[in-house]
Structures are given as structure tokens and as C-alpha cells.
Structure 1
Amino acid sequence: MPAAGEAERAPNVAKAVWEAAGARAKSEGLPLIWVMSRALTEYAAGTLPLPRSVTSTKAGNRRGRSVFATDEVWSGADERRAKDAVRSMSALCETLLDAYARGDIHPYARMVTTAQREALAASHSFEGDAPSGTLPAPVAA
């Protein structure tokens, strides 16, 4: 279910990427639409760098998938996508979901790259029940 102010979009995403991202989201107890919304929000804000490595997918295996974003986030991500020379919003969404499925970005309080997560874990010791050097549980929006 979309958050307040979000509209449904339908970028074309490869079935294999969608299913792999969905499997990871399910294993983490997160709705895939929330993961996609967070990734687009963080990418639009400039806090999530564009992952450059992607899994090869067959071009004929794409179809519109429901994702949700506010007009501000969608247009902000679209502007940044153009600057990053990504051919379309569909390609951007597929790239972000592929990176999530492969574990290259993580949906904690903010979407982060693996390198950012490891740097954060190395520089912080969390208190409470979490072992030292681990990250707190994901925060749902």
C-alpha cells in the first residue's frame, strides 16, 4: 500500500530482477514496494549512489511493475538519472532493485551501499541487544 502522497508508477523491470528483489525483501520482512520507494527516495536525494554493476537480464522479459513514489521523488530521481546517463526510469528502477537483490544496497534507516554499511559498522559500536559492530534492524517508513 502506498504512503500518503505516493502515486503508482509502472516501470518495466525484468522478471528475474523483480523476483530476486522480492525474495530478499520477503526474507527481511519488508514489502518490496517499500524497498523500491526508499531506494528511489534516497537516490533522488543524492544519498544513494548509482550502483554501476548489474546482472545481465534478457530484454524481452520485462513488464510494468507497480512501484510507488511521490511526484517530487519521481521527478528528482528522473533528473538525477539523466545526469547519471541512465537511459530511462525503468532502467533506473531495475538497476536499484538488482543492486538490492545482490546485497549491494541495504534498506536500513537510509539506503546505503555495502561499502557505506561496512564503514558505518566499523566506526560504530551499537548499544543494547545488538552485538558490537552490527547494524540495527531495518526501520519501516
Structure 2
Amino acid sequence: MPATGEAERAPNIGGAVWEAAGARAKSEGLPLIWVMSRALTEYAAGTLPLPRITTSTRAGNRRGRSVFATNDVWAGADERRTKAAVRSMSALCEILLDAYARGDIHPYARMVTTAQREALTAPRPPVGTGPAGTTPVPVAA
């Protein structure tokens, strides 16, 4: 299901790459279309460099696969792709998914669990109130 403002795109991605990325996404409990959307968004924003320009030689038959992105993300990724001399948006999407399948990129790096979020936002004890002989170190949020 696309997020608000996202449109369906159909880049041609090799079957072996799609399946390998899908297996990793499934093992992490993530929808593959979300992984692709996140990777495109990070790439368009300039926070995700391309790990390498080519995908594996065993990419398999390529066909249109559903991915979702806003017009701004798609245009931003397309602009960066052109500067990086990647031949097409299909090739870019395949490169990103291949890197994800190999473990070279991690779209969840900025995400935290609910418990982690609560721990990060919970009130901290005042400095000097820890067990005898210790002083908690304030952590920047």
C-alpha cells in the first residue's frame, strides 16, 4: 500500500535480485515495496550512496515490478542517477535492491522499536542521583 502522495512505478528488475531482496525483507519482517521506497527516498535525499554500479550477473529475466515513490523522490533519484551515470531508473532500482539483498544497505538504520523510542524519550534522572559512587551521564536526544 503506497503512502500518501506516492505513485506506483514499474521499473524492470531482475527476478533473482527481486527474490533475494524479498527473502531478506521477509526475514526482517519488512514489505519489499517499503524497502524499495525507503531506499529510493534515502538515495534521492543524498543520504544513501550507491555501493557499486552493477548488479550481480545472475539478475535473471527483468520485468516491471511495483514500487512506490512520490514524484519528488522519483525526480530526485533520477537526477542523482544521471549524475552517477546509471543508465536508467530500472537499473538504479535493481542496484539498490541488489545491495539490500547482499546486506550492503540497511533501510531500517534510522528506525527504532517502540521500546527503544520510549527509552530514548523517557525522563532521565538528574545528574548525581545514581547509585553511590556513580553519576549518570546525560545523553543528548
Same fold by TM-score, threshold 0.5 exceeded?
A: yes
Quote the residue 1:8 is aligned against.
8
Deviation at 1:105, TM superposition (A): 0.3
Deviation at 1:6, TM superposition (A): 0.2
The number of equivalent residue pairs is: 111
**3-state DSSP of counterpart to 2:18:** helix
**3-state DSSP of counterpart to 2:100:** helix
**3-state DSSP of counterpart to 1:107:** coil
Q: Which runs of structure 1 show a deviation greater than 2 angstroms over 4 or more consecutive aligned residues?
A: none
Quote the residue 1:28 is aligned against.
28
> Distance between the aligned counterparts of 1:87 and 1:76, measured in 2?
15
Quote the residue 1:45 is aligned against.
45
* Identity fraction in percent: 84
Quote the residue 1:117 is aligned against.
none
Q: Which runs of 5+ in 1 are unaligned?
A: 112-127, 129-141
Q: Deviations over 1:27-78 (max 9, x none)?
A: 000000000000000000000001215311356x100000000000000000
> Distance between the aligned counterparts of 1:103 and 1:54, measured in 2?
13
Maintained 8 Å contact 1:42/1:110: no
Q: Which runs of 5+ in 2 are unaligned?
A: 112-118, 120-141
TM-score in terms of structure 1 length: 0.75
Structure exhibiting the larger radius of gyration computed from Cα positions: 2
> Distance between the aligned counterparts of 1:107 and 1:91, measured in 2?
19
**3-state DSSP of counterpart to 1:5:** coil
RMSD: 1.6
Going from structure 1 to structure 2, the CA distance change for 1:110 and 1:91 (only over 3 Å counts) comes to farther
Quote the residue 1:116 is aligned against.
none
